[in-house]
Amino acid sequence: MDLSNLTLAQVAELSKTLCGGAKTADPTTIVESDKKIVVLDRGFVYVGDVSVFNDWVLIKNAQNLRIWGTTRGLGELRNGPLSGTKLDDVGSVRAPLRALISLIDVDAAKWNASK
């Protein structure tokens, strides 16, 4: 299963399944993805390579989006950071799946070129 093919309803269902009780005994990757903008609860926003392991979201090569630098919202960053965007390299981030608010597909080549 690829995150880029999941709808928000499917992510919510996956979250309910994983966080609601039934855990897989095998700690293998459930979902792997390309680079995404990850919105977590409490206002945390990252961009990085996303994987879901059991009830955890793992963001590798993560950058914290400290200042979006947008005028029309977070979706403007699909095609890479803007001149006003402030990013902080944070390495890898692991967050509980229940904290996942949304995932935004991005042009990975443009984000990778900005590093």
Contacts of 70 by beta carbon, 8 Å cutoff, 6+ apart: 76, 77, 82, 84, 85
Q: Which residues of the chain have pLDDT under 50?
A: 22-25
Distance CA 53, CA 96 (A): 10
Q: Which domain holds residue 85?
A: 3-113
Tell me, what's the pLDDT at 114?
74
CATH of the domain at 74: 2.30.30.100
Structural element, H or E, at residue 8: helix 8-19
Tell me, what's the pLDDT at 22?
47
Looking at the structure of the chain, the number of domains it has is 1
Tell me, what's the pLDDT at 55?
87
Counting Cα atoms < 13 Å in the Cβ hemisphere of 103 gives 28
